[in-house]
Amino acid sequence: MKNIKKRISALVLTTVFASMQIASANVANFDTGLGAGNGGAVINNATSGLVDVQTGKGVADLNFNSSASVNWNTLNVNNGETLNFNAVNGANNLTILNTVNYGMSTFAGSVNANSGIGNLIISNPNGVLFDGASFSTAGDLNITTDPMRTVLKNGAMDVEKIGNGAMPVGTVEILRDSNFSVGGDFNIVAPKINVSNSTIKVGQGKALRLTTTNGQDYLSNEYTGTIEDVVADQLSDKNTNVRLEAVSVDGDVYITSNGKGAVKTVSGGKINGDLTINSDGEVALNYEPNGKVLEVTGDVNAKANNVAMYAYNVKTGGDLNMTNGGGFVEVQNARVGGDMNLTTTGDKTNYLKKGNNKTELKHFVHVAGDVTVEGNANIQSEHNIHIGGYNYDKKQFSDGNFKVGKDLTAHAKDGHVTVTIDTEADKIDLKSDSLNILSDGKAVLKANEYKFSSNGYIGSIADYTREDGTVLTKEDQLIGIMENYIYIPNDIKSHDYINVTGADQLGAAKITAINTPGNAYIRSNGNITVTGANAKDINITAPKSRIDITGPDVHARNINVGPETDYLKVDFEGRDFTTNFTNIRDEKVVTLKPTDVVTYENTDGYNGHNYPTLKPGEKTTYLIGPGFDPVPPPPTPDPENPTINPYDEVSRHIKQWVPDDVTAAPVNTPVAFAADLDDDEIDKAVRKNVDGSVTVVRAYAMGK
């Protein structure tokens, strides 16, 4: 290597050390030979910490024995060239500030700082571009478009931003397989930051920190056009403050955006650590997934305060926390290794403006596509919550599945909670303070325990035909209800059920709360127990299954049980609701008084008959299929045959009713009546049992 040294005079060094002021080294307008044809790399001046510069073909070494400030006219490193910052003579933990006067700095070659450099700073208000660069430093690395300077503070050199002047327009871009190995923290400060298809590694326990100093204030709080136009404009690249594309980061990432522009990641990528975002604008994680996954091995904590917030095709090893104070949050096709918390806070009110008219931008939380959460899912919205997605133009709901390993809570303060995809959790708690709990009638909720609370109707909506013959599909109606925040106070003509089932197919699911001043429609695909309610009318059905209504915390005007239900038990007295189901013979509604304790069982056995389990002295009831009279009481033994067993007579009747060639496969029929084997009188609808309960001895298909 050709050795060209610019030595600093002893007189200059003596003056610096005596006065503790930063003096200029004798390297005025020194050309390092790097960056030829691209603006070059020319040192204007430097402070005394720079003791010499060695240059050779495509290589420049800057050697420092103390912290220093290097002022460059231009600073560029071409492909194949190398710029080294070296601490020499045992110097350690040095701060080296590089300020650039003219033109953007382009690094396409290698830049290195050895272990004695504790903090390497490059400040260029005109912008900094890393294009296929290789950057290695043992300490901290700071890239900024803010103008910086060095000052003495407590006898040591310190770096500070120069004044509060005009905002620099330069950007920082890291492109095309640039590779950074940073032993400390890596900080980038600029109005706009773009990192694409590059790899960044920081020290253990350190972080990549991206900060927009003031951001690009592209947008105000009032937006003109449709919400779709507004979102598309704000998330365009021109209005993006921080953009990460297919980036690999080994370490935590912190992004702070102080302007109205967006923070956006696209085309997947991997962050081996936590991702923390605090933005005054939009946040879109993997907004353009292109079939790729954004993987974050730790937690994601994102806070925005503007219109849109997205997470598409995101996989986390820890929690996913997203909070928006200005609009909506949407998570789609995500896998969360910990808890998921989605919140709109109402910290900020945004408007869509058309002419002189302003419309408040409502908050909306969507969980769409296939989303899996290993822990708890907590969704809080100022307005709507939709578990599922839809195409607004086509009025079609999207397919999907939402699985929560622990508990799901969805709480809408001034909006609907709507579920249109299958949803599973240990406990499901859906609550709307002012509007409704709704479903499309197709989605199935699967949990061990349920709570439903709303200010109105709880249920689904069926297709509805108007008087003019126009058919309103459930999609049309539900999307219109959600988009326009239409309140359903009590009931609707086109009602349908919310579908629920137990998480454990062998056990019954439990409903611990149905709270509404209106009506509720719930269909269980398995056994269900209701232990808590405060409602007007509860319409509940369990096809081929069992319903138990129990405990003093169930309150309603009516509980109407569907005719498909096989078994109903209401086992407490003093309740304040009536139970309604239908007599199978005349199809008239039968009302059981609140004071009746009732057990009802339908047929489920051979050819629609239940075989009774009869033992001497046992008191029981068994059911037979329709079209037959109740089993007559056993005959009274006569003196000639005093040993007649009454149970043989029962068996004889059963053999008459069930031919030998009937298949043994059990079948179910919703019509049956009961026979009382213990009482000569069988004309009573309800019989008091020896255990104090009451059994229906005429069966009814149950429902209203």
Which contiguous run of DSSP H or E holds residue 268?
strand 262-272
Q: Report, in angstroms and rounded to the nearest whole number, the Rg of the chain calculated over CA atoms.
A: 38
Provide mean pLDDT across the span 650-655.
35
Show which of 601, 631, 659 is a domain's final residue: 601
Separation between Cα atoms, residue 314 and residue 294, nearest integer Å: 5
CA dist 343 → 31, 234, 305, 457 (Å): 55, 21, 11, 24
Task: Give the DSSP letter of residue 638.
Answer: P
Question: pLDDT tens for residues 298-311?
Answer: 999 999 988 889 99
Residue-level pLDDT at 52: 93
Q: Which of 38, 35, 30, 36 is nearest to 62 (CA)?
A: 30
Characterise 65 by phi-psi region: left (phi > 0), alpha (psi -120 to 50), beta (else): alpha
Residue-level pLDDT at 651: 36
Lowest-confidence pick of 99-113, 227-241, 590-604: 590-604
Mean pLDDT of the chain: 80
Residue-level pLDDT at 682: 38
* Structure confidence at residue 153 as a pLDDT band (50, 70, 90): low
Per-residue pLDDT for 698 more than 80? no
CB contact at 8 A, 81 and 109: yes
Residue-level pLDDT at 155: 63
Residue 193 inside a domain? The answer is: yes
In percent, the amount of the chain with pLDDT more than 90 equals 54
CB contact at 8 A, 440 and 478: yes
| Residue 553: partners with Cβ closer than 8 Å, 6 or more residues away | 531, 532, 533
> Higher confidence at residue 621 or residue 179?
179
Residue-level pLDDT at 212: 87
* Structure confidence at residue 587 as a pLDDT band (50, 70, 90): low
Provide mean pLDDT across the span 420-449.
97
Q: Which of 443, 441, 394, 395 is nearest to 423 (CA)?
A: 443
Separation between Cα atoms, residue 560 and residue 497, nearest integer Å: 13
Residue-level pLDDT at 288: 87
Q: Is 445 helix (H, G, I), strand (E, B) or coil?
A: strand
Residue 322 inside a domain? The answer is: no
Task: Give the DSSP letter of residue 167.
Answer: P
In percent, the amount of the chain with pLDDT more than 70 equals 75
Per-residue pLDDT for 287 more than 50? yes
Q: Is 229 helix (H, G, I), strand (E, B) or coil?
A: helix
Provide mean pLDDT across the span 654-682.
34
Q: Which of 267, 104, 276, 275 is nearest to 192 (CA)?
A: 104
Q: Which of 405, 235, 404 is nearest to 307 (CA)?
A: 235
Q: Give residue 65's identity as a one-letter amino acid code.
A: N
Per-residue pLDDT for 285 more than 90? yes
* Structure confidence at residue 167 as a pLDDT band (50, 70, 90): low
Structure tokens at 529: 């127990």
Per-residue pLDDT for 568 more than 90? no
Per-residue pLDDT for 278 more than 70? yes
3-state secondary structure 480-510: HHHHHCCCCCCCCCCEECEEEEECCCCCCEE
* Structure confidence at residue 313 as a pLDDT band (50, 70, 90): very high
CB contact at 8 A, 493 and 462: no
Per-residue pLDDT for 619 more than 50? no
Place of tokens 């910086």: 148
Domain that holds residue 551: 470-601
Residue 3 inside a domain? The answer is: yes
Question: pLDDT tens for residues 597-617?
Answer: 555 444 333 333 233 333 444
Residue 29 inside a domain? The answer is: yes
Residue-level pLDDT at 327: 86
Residue-level pLDDT at 201: 98
Residue-level pLDDT at 261: 82
Please tell me the total number of residues recorded for the chain in this structure: 704
Provide mean pLDDT across the span 279-301.
94
Provide mean pLDDT across the span 353-375.
89
Structure tokens at 353: 């403006």
Residue 46 inside a domain? The answer is: yes
Provide mean pLDDT across the span 391-412.
91
Burial class from Cβ neighbours inside 10 Å (0-12, 13-18, 19+) for residue 685 reads middle
Q: Which of 626, 543, 559 is nearest to 598 (CA)?
A: 559
Q: Which of 584, 577, 583 is nearest to 560 (CA)?
A: 577
Winning range, highest mean pLDDT, from 23-37, 104-118, 156-170, 565-579: 104-118
Per-residue pLDDT for 663 more than 50? no
Show which of 601, 629, 648 is a domain's final residue: 601
| Residue 687: partners with Cβ closer than 8 Å, 6 or more residues away | 621, 676, 679, 694, 695, 697
Question: pLDDT tens for residues 29-87?
Answer: 899 999 999 999 999 999 989 999 999 999 999 999 999 999 999 999 999 999 999 99
CB contact at 8 A, 547 and 571: no
Separation between Cα atoms, residue 569 and residue 592, nearest integer Å: 12
Q: Which of 78, 94, 6 is nearest to 46 (CA)?
A: 6
Residue 689 inside a domain? The answer is: no
| Buried b / exposed e along 335-362 (16+ C-beta atoms within 10 A) | bbbbbbbbbbeeebebebeeeeeeeebb
* Structure confidence at residue 620 as a pLDDT band (50, 70, 90): very low
CB contact at 8 A, 562 and 579: no
Residue-level pLDDT at 147: 85
Give the start-end residues of each E strand in 399-535: 401-404, 407-412, 417-419, 422-424, 427-432, 437-439, 444-447, 449-453, 458-461, 464-465, 471-472, 495-496, 498-502, 509-515, 520-524, 528-530, 533-534
Phi, psi angles (nearest 5°) of residue 9: -65, 150
Phi, psi angles (nearest 5°) of residue 602: -95, 175
Provide mean pLDDT across the span 689-701.
42
Place of tokens 């008959």: 609
CB contact at 8 A, 304 and 287: no
Structure tokens at 180: 């950074």
What is the sign, positive or negative, of the torsion defined by CA atoms of 613, 618, 621, 625?
A: positive
Show which of 547, 570, 601 is a domain's final residue: 601
CA dist 192 → 106, 149, 217 (Å): 16, 21, 11
Residue 545 inside a domain? The answer is: yes
Residue-level pLDDT at 337: 98
Per-residue pLDDT for 178 more than 80? yes
Residue-level pLDDT at 530: 96
Per-residue pLDDT for 362 more than 70? yes
What is the total count of domains within the chain?
2
Separation between Cα atoms, residue 156 and residue 153, nearest integer Å: 5
Q: Is 61 helix (H, G, I), strand (E, B) or coil?
A: strand
Q: Which of 599, 531, 595 is nearest to 565 (CA)?
A: 599
Q: For strands 68-74 and 42-47, give the pairing.
A: antiparallel
* Structure confidence at residue 217 as a pLDDT band (50, 70, 90): very low
What is the sign, positive or negative, of the torsion defined by CA atoms of 45, 48, 52, 55?
A: negative
Structure tokens at 154: 């407590």
Q: For strands 417-419 and 396-397, give the pairing.
A: unpaired
* Structure confidence at residue 247 as a pLDDT band (50, 70, 90): very high
Provide mean pLDDT across the span 194-216.
88
Residue-level pLDDT at 11: 26
Q: Which of 490, 498, 492 is nearest to 477 (CA)?
A: 492
- Count Cα atoms within 13 angstroms, Cβ side, for 480: 8
* Structure confidence at residue 567 as a pLDDT band (50, 70, 90): confident
Winning range, highest mean pLDDT, from 95-109, 215-229, 673-687: 95-109
* Structure confidence at residue 165 as a pLDDT band (50, 70, 90): low
Residue-level pLDDT at 575: 81
Q: Concatenated DSSP letters for 81-123?
A: -EEEEEE-TT--SEEEEEEE-SS-EEE-SEEEE-TTEEEEEEE
Q: Give residue 419's identity as a one-letter amino acid code.
A: V
Lowest-confidence pick of 165-169, 412-416, 502-506, 522-526: 165-169
Query: What's this model's pTM, rounded to 2 decimal places?
Result: 0.81
Question: pLDDT tens for residues 5-36?
Answer: 333 322 222 222 222 233 344 688 899 999 99
Provide mean pLDDT across the span 253-261.
87
Separation between Cα atoms, residue 400 and residue 418, nearest integer Å: 14
